């Protein structure tokens, strides 16, 4: 899968995802939320973020995206994020993620919204 990692996410997640066989890149520093969403959509990437703004389906409709993963994991360090993301992705496909918002919690548990 292809991911766009928001600047508020531990940058080491990019390397972690690449080791799992995915393609990932970081949002350019200082990019505004609207531009972040446009970039993810244009590049057909799943957005990975900690920004609560992206959970607002009226402002950022998941249906217009390749998928949004909101990380609700504390502390937000790779040590905690990595295993949860790996567990989550083991059960996911790009097709299933498209057009949906996933709020990912500790130990890979998640809520799914269309």
Distance, CA of 100 to CA of 92 (rounded, Å): 12
CB distance 46 to 21 below 8 Å: no
Mean predicted confidence (pLDDT) in 37-57:
97
Q: How many CB atoms lie within 10 A of CB 24?
A: 19
Mean predicted confidence (pLDDT) in 15-37:
97
Per-residue model confidence (pLDDT) at position 107: 75
Report which DSSP code applies to 75.
Answer: S
Mean predicted confidence (pLDDT) in 22-33:
97
Q: How far, in Å, are 62, 87, 94, 108 from residue 39 at the CA level?
A: 14, 26, 17, 26
Average pLDDT of the chain to the nearest whole number: 96
Q: Is the confidence at residue 84, as pLDDT, over 90?
A: yes
Distance, CA of 77 to CA of 111 (rounded, Å): 20
Q: Euclidean distance between the first and final Cα of the chain, in Å?
A: 19
Q: Say what the pTM is.
A: 0.96
Residue 5, strand partner residues:
26, 48
């Amino acid at each position: 899968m292809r991911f766009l990692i928001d600047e508020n996410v531990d940058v080491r997640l990019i390397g972690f995802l690449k080791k799992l066989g995915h393609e990932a890149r970081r949002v350019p520093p200082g990019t505004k939320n609207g531009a972040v969403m446009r970039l993810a959509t244009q590049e057909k990437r799943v957005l990975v973020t900690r920004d609560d703004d992206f959970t607002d389906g009226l402002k950022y409709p998941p249906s217009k995206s390749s998928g949004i993963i909101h990380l609700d994991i504390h502390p937000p360090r790779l040590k905690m994020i990595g295993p949860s993301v790996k567990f989550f992705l083991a059960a996911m496909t790009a097709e299933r993620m498209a057009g949906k918002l996933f709020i990912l919690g500790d130990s890979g548990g998640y809520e799914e919204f269309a």
